[in-house]
Structure 1
C-alpha cells in the first residue's frame, strides 16, 4: 500500500484490523495514524464493502474528501456534511460526526453495506458543546460494523476502551504509541530572552514581571522572535494565536521580512492568481487585501475569512511556497499542514466560559504541527511568555505535565430523546446506563444525569411532542430538526412555517442559527422585520420558561436578527460584495450562517410531515440562497 516501512504500532494496528476487531489508537500528532485509517478503508473495499470517515470539522472533512478522491477515484468517494451532499451512495463516505449520529437514528439501513467507521479526533468526546455527538455515535454504533477511533494521547485510554467493551459484543483492541517520529525542541520568549533554558526562563519571568509596563512594545518583541525563526531557518512556520483579528495584525507586523526569492515569488504569484481565478473570487476585497502578503511568502487564516479564501491559503501553504502563516487553532485540528516550526502567541485561551491556561493535550495538539516526517530531523516550538498573564509553574505544567483524561460531556439533545422515546418509550431511561458518563460517574452524578433526562422528556410532554406515551406529529417532525427541535417544533405546530414566503423563511432560519460573538452589536431592525422578531421572541420566551423551570442547560437559542438584512438582500439576488453594507459581521461568519440555513432547509424539505406546497417553498428558498460563495458544493468541486 505504501513504499515506506511501517512503524511497529502501525503493523500491530493492521493486524487488529485483519482480525476484524474494532480498534482505538492513541498516538502523538504526526505519528502516522492516517496510514491505519487508509488500511481499514482498503480492507473494506477488498470485501466489496464501504467505509465511513467522520471528522469534527468541515475543513477536515473537505480535505479528506479530496485526498480520498485522489487515492480511490472520485466515483468511489462521497461526502455528506449538511450543506454538502456529493455522491452520497459511494462506498467511501466522508461525513461530520453529527451527520453520522443523525443517520444512526434517521436511516440506520444506509450502513448495511458499510464495514468500517473511522472516528478522527475521538478525544472530542470531551468537548463540552459537541462531545455528546461522539458518545451517542459510539453508544448506538451498529454491531455489524467495526470502529477505528483515532486520537492524540489519552491517559485514561484503558477506561475508555473498557467502556466500549462493556456496551458492544465484538472484540475491541487498543494500540498505544508514545514515540514521536520527529522530536520537538522547545524555546521560550520572555522579555529579551529567547532560548531553550528553563533556568533562564525562570529568571527572565521574575525580572520581566517587575519591569513589564502596560505600554511595553509587544510589536518589537514579535519581530524579535520572528527574526530569530528566520535567522535559524526554522521555516515554514505556523504562528498560532487565539483571536482572529490578531492573525492579520501580526501578519502586518512581519511584512518587513523578505521570505521568498525572486523565483519563489513568481511561482507564488502564478499559483495565487490561478487559485483566485479558479475559485472565482478575484473581485473580493479580502483577496486583494491578502495578495501583497502572499507575494512576500506570508499568509493568515481564520474562521472569519471567506471559505474559498481559506481554501486558497491552505493550498498555498501545502505548496511550501508560503513560509509563514498566522492562524487560529483550527489549523492544528487534523488538517495535514505540517511545518518546521510553530509559535504560540500565548499560553492561555478562552475555554467556553472564561480564559484559562492551555491544557497539555491542546498544547501538544498544536505543537505537533512542528516537524515534517521525512523532511525535518526535529520540530521547533516557540512559546511566548507574558509574566503578567501566566505563572512560571503553569508553564511547566502545560509542557511537562500529564495529559488531561477525557471526560464524558453527555447531554442528549431533544431530537435524540424523541428518537429514543419513539423506539423504547419509558425504557429510554435505561439507555443512560450504556453511556460513558454513567461508566465514569459516581452515584450522585448518575442520579443527576437521569434527572436531567426525565426533565427534558417532561418538557417535551409539556410542549406537546409526546402525548399518551407516544410521539405526536409535532414530536416526529421535531425529532429530525437536530439542534433546533423546540423552536422549529413551535413554528411547525402553529403553521407559521407554512405561511412564510421564501425570503422570510430564510430570514427566520438565519435568526434561529445565529449566535452573537461577545462584541457583536444588535443592529436596528427594519420595520418589515419587527413582526418576525416579535414572533420569535414570544415563542422563545414560552420555550425558555419551561426549560428554566426544569433547570435545563444549555438553554434553547434565543434567535438573533443580526443577519436579517444581509440574508434578505442575498435571497433577493444581491452580490456578496453588496452585503458589506448590510452587516459588519465577518464574511466567513456570514457564509457559515447561510450554509447552516441551507442545512435546515434540506431537513425541512425532506420532512414527511410538511405539505407539498411547503416542500416547493423550501426548494425555492434553497435556489435563492445556495449560490456563489455560499454554495459549498461548488467550492468542493473546484479542484
Structure 2
C-alpha cells in the first residue's frame, strides 16, 4: 500500500514521501484496512520499530476534530511532540506538568501531546477541550499494569470514552500475551504482528560463544587479559572454559565486536552504579578512535560538561569523550538529551543503561546486550519480566542502516537454558489491571465524586464500568471494592454520606478537603497527611521551612530518597536535633525507616533553598542531579497543594508559602 493512496491531504503526503515514507509496512497497511483512517478503534500490538507512530499519525490526521496523543513518559512526549510539530499546517500543543491546572491554554490545538497524569488532571479541573476530542491515541498501552502509572492511564481512557462515546481510540502496544483482551476492552480491531523492518536474532552468550534462536552460532573474540571491571551477572564469574572472564568482560567483548563491524551498541545493566561502572570500563577501550568520531565525541563531552559541575556530570562528560555514555533516571534531562542525540548522530559507540531507556525513547542500535537479567527488589534478586527484556531486545536493528539486529543475553553455562526458556523462547506476560490497588482506587473514586461524575455507589460503578479492571473483576468484585473504598474515604474525611430523602437513601459528596485534594491532584493519603501536618505546624512555636518540607516529603506523592547505611546514624542525629521543627515525632511514625528517608529529602530541599549548589548536594547526599531536579519539582507542586489545603481548613502556616517562594 502506497502513502499517496491514503486519504491524506497532499501536504501531508508530500511530507511523508520527502521523509522516505512511500510504502506502508504490513502492520500499517493492516491498520488502514481495519479503518484507522475512518474513525475505527484499533489496537496495534506489534514490535518496536514496526511503524506504530505512523499508525497514530494516520488516525490523528484523518480525525474529524482535535486529537490527543497520550504518552507514559515526559521524554517520549517531547519526542512525539517534535514529530507532530514537524508536520505542515498543524497546531500542536504539549503538556506534561502543572497537575493543579486545567490546561486551558491547550484549547485550539489540532493535536495535543500529554502524559496520562496531565489529562487526568485536566479532566478533574474541568478543561473544556477534553469534550471536543475526536480521537485519542494511547501509546505504550501495555503499561496498564504499571504500579502507579497504570491506574491513571486506565481511568483516563475510560473517562474519555464515557464523556465522548464517539471518540476514536487507537492503542499502541508492545507484543504482550493478551492483546485480544485490551482490544475487547476498547471495542477495537486487533492488529497483531511479529513483523519487523529489520530481522532480529536473539541469543545467549556464554564466554565468547553466542547461540542464536535461528540455530546459528557466533564466536566473539575475547582478546587480552581478563579485567574484573564490574559486578554483573548472577553466576560464579566463570565461562564454559573456566577462565577468569566475568560477565562484564564478555559484555565489553560484545561491544568491541559491534564497533569493529561498524555498529553501535546498547548495554543494559540492573542499576545506576552498574551503568556508570560499565561505561567507565568501556571508556578505556578506545571506541571513539575505532569509530573515527574523536572530534564529535569530544564535542558531546563538552556539551554534557556544560550542563552542570556535578560528579555525575564530569563522569558522563569523560565517558562521552571516549565514545561511551551511561543513561539512567538520576541524570538531569539535559544530560539525557545530550546522550540520546549523540547516539542518534552516531557520535557515541555504546550507551550503558538501566532498563528505563527501553521504555519508549527512540535509540535503536545494531546490537543490544542484556548483561543483567535480575535486579534487587528490596528483599531479593528477582528475574526481570519477560516483556521488559523483550522491550530492551526490540531496540536492536536500525531500519535502513543495519542488515539485522542482534539481542544478546550474557549468561553462564548453568544459566543458559533458563535464559533461553525465559527470554528467547518465552512469551511476554499478560497485561493485568493494577486499579485494584486500594490506594489507586481511592484516588480515582475520590476524583469521580469530587468532579460530580458520581453521587452514589451505583453511579461510581457506572464510572468504573468502562475500565479494564471492571472486565477482569466482574460486577460483584467491582461493587465490593468500591464499597470498601468509599468507607475508607469517609474515614479519611475526604467524602461524607448525606441523606437524600427516603429511608436508607443517601448521596456521597466530597468534603472541602476532598475537593481540594482531588483538584490539586494529590492522593487522598497525601491530603490527609498534609492536613494533619498543617494543623500541627499551625500551633508550633518554631515552624520553619524544614517543617514545610517535612510535612510534604512524608507523603506517598513525594519520591523516596535512598538512605544508605552510612547515612542512617547521621540522619537520626539530625532528626533528633531538629525535632522541634518536625510535625511527626520519632515515636509517632509507623514506618520509621520511611519517615527518616522523608527527613533526608526535607533536609536536602531546605539546604537547596538556603543556597547549597547542585554539586554540593549531590556529593553530600549521594543522589543523582536528576533526582534533585525531580524532588524540587515535586516539592513545588506539593507545597502548592499544601497551601491550598491550608486555605481550605482555615489555618495559617507561613513557612509553606515561604518555602515555595524560595524553591
Instruction: Report the alpha carbon displacement of residue 199 of structure 1 after superposing the two structures with TM.
Output: 8.1
Q: Does 1:222 find its partner at 2:251?
A: yes
Deviation string, structure 1 residues 571-603 (Cα, Å, up to 9, x no partner) = 223322232464223332222222211232344
The DSSP-based 3-state class of the residue aligned with 2:584 is helix
Q: Does 1:344 find its partner at 2:362?
A: no
The DSSP-based 3-state class of the residue aligned with 2:397 is coil
Q: Does 1:437 find its partner at 2:486?
A: no
Task: Tell me if structure 1 keeps the 8 A contact 2:267–2:370.
Answer: yes
Say if 1:210 and 1:317 are closer, same or farther in 2 by CA, change over 3 A.
closer
Task: Tell me if structure 2 keeps the 8 A contact 1:507–1:567.
Answer: no
The DSSP-based 3-state class of the residue aligned with 2:424 is helix
Query: 1:267 maps to what in 2?
Result: 296
**Residue ranges of structure 1 left out of the alignment (5+ in a row):** 166-171, 545-555, 626-639
The DSSP-based 3-state class of the residue aligned with 2:519 is coil
Say if 1:211 and 1:536 are closer, same or farther in 2 by CA, change over 3 A.
farther
Instruction: Report the alpha carbon displacement of residue 472 of structure 1 after superposing the two structures with TM.
Output: 1.8
Query: 1:148 maps to what in 2?
Result: 170
Task: Tell me if structure 1 keeps the 8 A contact 2:31–2:55.
Answer: yes
Query: 1:254 maps to what in 2?
Result: 282
Pairing partner for 2:142 from 113, 123, 126: 123
Deviation string, structure 1 residues 289-341 (Cα, Å, up to 9, x no partner) = 22232122111111122232122211211221101110011111110111111
Query: 2:455 maps to what in 1?
Result: 424
Work out the CA distance in 2 between the residues paired with 1:518 and 1:398: 33
Task: Tell me if structure 2 keeps the 8 A contact 1:189–1:225.
Answer: no
Instruction: Report the alpha carbon displacement of residue 31 of structure 1 after superposing the two structures with TM.
Output: 0.3
Work out the CA distance in 2 between the residues paired with 1:207 and 1:250: 16
Pairing partner for 1:588 from 626, 630, 633: 626
Work out the CA distance in 2 between the residues paired with 1:9 and 1:440: 28
Cα RMSD (Å) of the superposition? 3.8
Query: 1:243 maps to what in 2?
Result: 271
Query: 2:616 maps to what in 1?
Result: 578
What are the residue-to-residue correspondences of 1:214-613 with 2, within 5 Å? 217-233=246-262, 235-261=263-289, 264-274=293-303, 276-277=305-306, 279=307, 281=308, 283-350=309-376, 354-387=380-413, 390=415, 392-410=417-435, 411=437, 412-422=440-450, 423-428=454-459, 430-431=461-462, 432-441=464-473, 447=477, 450-469=479-498, 470-492=509-531, 495-496=535-536, 504-512=547-555, 513-517=558-562, 519=564, 521-522=567-568, 523-524=571-572, 525-526=574-575, 529-535=578-584, 541=590, 560-580=598-618, 582-604=620-642, 610=648
Work out the CA distance in 2 between the residues paired with 1:536 and 1:476: 29
Task: Tell me if structure 2 keeps the 8 A contact 1:189–1:195.
Answer: yes
TM-score, normalised to structure 1, is 0.82
Work out the CA distance in 2 between the residues paired with 1:254 and 1:13: 43
Alignment: residue pair count: 595
Work out the CA distance in 2 between the residues paired with 1:245 and 1:72: 44
Instruction: Report the alpha carbon displacement of residue 399 of structure 1 after superposing the two structures with TM.
Output: 1.1
Pairing partner for 2:197 from 158, 178, 181: 181
Query: 2:228 maps to what in 1?
Result: none
Task: Tell me if structure 2 keeps the 8 A contact 1:28–1:153.
Answer: yes
Instruction: Please say which of residues 556-565 and 51-60 is displaced more in the overlay.
Output: 556-565
Task: Tell me if structure 2 keeps the 8 A contact 1:415–1:481.
Answer: no
TM-score, normalised to structure 2, is 0.79
Work out the CA distance in 1 between the residues paired with 2:296 and 2:602: 42
Query: 1:39 maps to what in 2?
Result: 58
Say if 1:179 and 1:518 are closer, same or farther in 2 by CA, change over 3 A.
farther
Pairing partner for 1:138 from 150, 153, 157: 157
The DSSP-based 3-state class of the residue aligned with 2:147 is coil
Work out the CA distance in 2 between the residues paired with 1:415 and 1:427: 18
Instruction: Report the alpha carbon displacement of residue 613 of structure 1 after superposing the two structures with TM.
Output: 9.7
Instruction: Report the alpha carbon displacement of residue 239 of structure 1 after superposing the two structures with TM.
Output: 0.5
Task: Tell me if structure 2 keeps the 8 A contact 1:363–1:399.
Answer: no
Instruction: Report the alpha carbon displacement of residue 618 of structure 1 after superposing the two structures with TM.
Output: 6.2
The DSSP-based 3-state class of the residue aligned with 1:112 is helix
Query: 1:80 maps to what in 2?
Result: 96
Instruction: Report the alpha carbon displacement of residue 342 of structure 1 after superposing the two structures with TM.
Output: 0.6
**Residue ranges of structure 2 left out of the alignment (5+ in a row):** 1-11, 218-234, 499-508
Work out the CA distance in 1 between the residues paired with 2:96 and 2:457: 33
Task: Tell me if structure 2 keeps the 8 A contact 1:240–1:328.
Answer: yes
Work out the CA distance in 2 between the residues paired with 1:615 and 1:148: 47
Query: 2:9 maps to what in 1?
Result: none
Deviation string, structure 1 residues 250-292 (Cα, Å, up to 9, x no partner) = 1122223222349621123234435654x4x2x3333222223
Task: Tell me if structure 2 keeps the 8 A contact 1:510–1:594.
Answer: no
Deviation string, structure 1 residues 536-591 (Cα, Å, up to 9, x no partner) = 778865xx9xxxxxxxxxxx999721122211111223322232464223332222
Task: Tell me if structure 1 keeps the 8 A contact 2:75–2:361.
Answer: yes
Task: Tell me if structure 1 keeps the 8 A contact 2:310–2:618.
Answer: no
Query: 2:5 maps to what in 1?
Result: none
Work out the CA distance in 2 between the residues paired with 1:72 and 1:413: 42
Task: Tell me if structure 2 keeps the 8 A contact 1:28–1:177.
Answer: yes
Work out the CA distance in 2 between the residues paired with 1:89 and 1:616: 36
Work out the CA distance in 2 between the residues paired with 1:273 and 1:74: 36
Instruction: Please say which of residues 513-522 and 98-107 is displaced more in the overlay.
Output: 513-522
Work out the CA distance in 1 between the residues paired with 2:587 and 2:399: 57
